[in-house]
Amino acid sequence: MKKIGIEINGVLRDTISKFIQLYEKNMIEENETENNLKSFDIDMSGNTDLVIGEENFKYKIKNEVTSLNLMNHFSFRNEDELYSFTYEDFAMQIFGHAGSSETFTFNDLNKIYLKYRDNNELLIVSDEMGRSKPASLFFLSKFGCQLEKIKFYSNTTINSMWDEVDVLLTSNPNLILEKPKDKIVVKYITNYNKNIKSDYEIEKLKDFDEVLQKLKIC
Cβ neighbors of 166 (< 8 A, separation 6 or more) are 2, 3, 4, 183, 184
Which pLDDT belongs to residue 48?
Answer: 53
Q: What is the mean pLDDT of the chain?
A: 92
| Least confident piece of the model among 12-16, 72-76, 153-157 | 153-157
Distances (CA, A) of 100 to 14, 67, 85, 202: 5, 19, 21, 16
Dihedral angle sign, alpha carbons of residues 125, 25, 68, 76? negative
- Does residue 7 carry a pLDDT above 90? yes
pLDDT value for 210: 97
Per-residue model confidence as pLDDT tens digits over 28-79: 998 876 655 454 455 556 555 545 445 578 999 999 999 999 999 999 999 9
Q: What is the pLDDT of residue 47?
A: 59
Average pLDDT over residues 12-29: 97
What percent of the chain clears pLDDT 90, i.e. is strictly above it?
85
Q: Burial of 155 by CB count in 10 Å (0-12 exposed, 13-18 middle, 19+ buried)?
A: exposed
User: Smallest Cα–Cα separation from 15: which of 82, 95, 89?
Assistant: 95
pLDDT at 52: 47
Q: What is the Cα–Cα distance from 63 to 26, expressed in whole angstroms?
A: 18
The pLDDT score that the predictor gives to residue 46 is: 55
In this prediction, residues 140-148 reach a mean pLDDT of 97
Lowest mean pLDDT among 9-13, 26-30, 84-88, 207-211: 26-30
pLDDT mean over 176-197:
96
Least trusted range by pLDDT, from 48-52, 73-77, 140-144, 187-191: 48-52
- pLDDT value of residue 4: 98
